[in-house]
Chain A
């Protein structure tokens, strides 16, 4: 059936998150930005509502609400403050990677610390990006070599663009295990933050999403045991899944940002007068608002569609297939990311000089929108993914996966 209305349960979740976003996040977004962090009371409230665990399977300690519910949550959070969903902590990308590359059992074990008492202080992170492209082959510069004892692995290299690097207790680090197999020769390893030889690099100053933290890791001969390796990381298709789903969550946040920027700007255009009437009553302004409204409606429904396809794949529904979910995610990612950027840009533009001032939130949203375009998966990578699927071509990791060769993104 085609139906476009959340279930009663989903509405309840969405409404409570919306209330949290409007009462707690929106009024304080400048405070979070200045503090470069979310305060403890906000983290506790969000974790108390179960937001970071909503989409994870019940078997792994999550709420099992599925990706559709998760994108509804992400939109509302970002509507409050686009930086908030990036800064909430919890398992985040670490959890998704644990399940996808570790399988259900290992995934469950890795998610365990994020459930229960004190969970709001726990953060997981994924270290994927690298500062430089690998010159002589596909894949990564960071290597994982068999330790001299023949047991375990030794990791060497530098990871970059890591979301929550300085807050995480645990990392999933990607490194080259088999150089000859290029992208297919990647491995993923679980590391605690206090592993010997692991150094967290200084936090970066970024254009937007100031409350979130972006950094990197230096790996100077970090030793890990055999069971720290997640077995399923050397599969380009699976890696594309990972980035497409992470990208989709960011796309849902883009929808929230676009909605915030649109609504605020529409209200402003109704109040601000020029030449004796509200500026919204001039066609050049009104049409811009109409275009951003069109973007918003389309982006939201596209995100829902892709999310629904992932839920269908997860429950093994008849006729569901991951390539279709990948394709629709790719479309949703590139559309929503560009839509959010247009929304932020036009919001500042229609606010005129005031928009450039920090008295209004729109300049922040414009910066946040650009930053979001560089999180999860870029529109360009998503386009390459969509085209590969449409053309029936194998997914080329060099074009589709984030990297110094295509574009680096924050994961």
Chain B
């Protein structure tokens, strides 16, 4: 091993390709998608085609989570799957974070199915993404409820066995791509008093009787991405859709499945936040170059320079912790603390970047326009310190790792 900081050739090529795509094709459409609350399927189909034609590593973001099988450690190390994914995610979000969330594929549903699904389930639920030339498909992850977010143990959506089916009742909210998904990974409980041991994860397919979509949320930002409420009223799920099969729930597995997902996805979400923050930072740097007379000593200049530097370095700090968390994942080493660290740092740093970029640009910064996306990024970024665990939740996770005797506050 060694200490090195240069992405390999394939990673650099992927970054460059996504960057070009983000700048030339995504950004010009970004504001329109935001206003129209979605991205035309034709556009998404083009991306899917492009990714296929460019070979496996193009748009590595989606691919990293699109594989049915857990790859073995040697392959993971060699291909640096987690690192490649976060490098791509930063670049893609620099273009438009909403687009990344809209990309067809299993999305956040992939990690639990891959980690906990039986071979038959993995085959069944992943194979639908192999050919999307006619129809785009999504997977989704449904954990949050009106009464339980980060405190997963508080979920109240219930499940009970009835013959060869499970009957699910309850509501899930804030589910990315939940309405359009071909299947949702849904977490429910046999009995809240059993705690984690009572949790079960199901793959609920579109069209399952008793499953319907509630309201589609009207959000502050990330408006191109669909966020749905899911309603389960005596929803009958076939028993073969219980993730992992009944045997696998002898332990705390249900809860652990949810948590494993977070260790994998927190660095990814951190990288997305950094991409948005960097977009704002780059814009502010360009604005200062164009608008401030830098050739003569303006008193404000030094203060402004310091602000820019602070934004830049906080993003870099977040990026370094994100690389570290992803690198550990690729090494097959535990990274729960590091994953929470990068998520907390990235959310904070990127929000500051977006807020300050607007201030630096003055009134102009708040005006929405074709080539002026600051106000959009400002709206998009806030949720990055909320979803996938708020900054406060990350600090709870980190604290527990630092203080072994600390079980709960």
Contact = CB atoms under 8 A, between A and B. Distances in A.
Contacts, number: 165
Contact of B399 (A8, A286, A302, A330): A286
B215 interface: no
A297 B316 contact: no
B4 A387 contact: no
B198 to A, nearest CB: 27
B189 interface: no
B294 A2 contact: no
B341 A293 contact: yes
B353 to A, nearest CB: 13
A281 B403 CA distance: 8
Which one of B6, B288, B323 has the highest number of Cβ atoms from chain A below 10 Å of its Cβ? B6
A292 B98 CA distance: 32
A388 B341 contact: no
B303 to A, nearest CB: 10
A383 B6 contact: no
Nearest to B284: A390
A266 B3 contact: no
Interface in B310-354: 310, 312-314, 316-318, 320-321, 323-324, 327, 337-338, 341, 344-345
B322 to A, nearest CB: 10
A330 B316 CA distance: 11
Contacts of B3: 3-7, 10, 68, 304, 308
Given A382-B309, A383-B306, A286 B406 contact: yes
B345 A289 contact: no
A391 B289 contact: yes
Interface in B264-280: none
Interface residues of B, number: 49
Contacts of A302: 313, 316-317, 320
Contact of B312 (A281, A301, A331): A331
B399 A287 contact: yes
Contacts of B304: 387
Interface string B72-92: 000000001001000000000
A393 B327 contact: no
Residue from the set A298, A334, A384 with the largest chain B CB neighbour count within 10 Å: A298
30 contacts: A1-B8, A2-B11, A3-B4, A6-B1, A7-B1, A278-B405, A278-B406, A281-B403, A287-B392, A287-B399, A293-B337, A294-B345, A298-B318, A298-B320, A301-B320, A302-B313, A304-B5, A305-B320, A308-B5, A309-B5, A331-B317, A383-B305, A383-B306, A383-B309, A384-B306, A386-B308, A386-B309, A387-B304, A387-B306, A390-B308
Interface of A: 1-8, 10, 68, 266, 269-270, 278, 280-283, 286-287, 289-291, 293-294, 297-299, 301-302, 304-305, 308-309, 319, 328, 330-331, 334-335, 380, 382-388, 390-393, 399
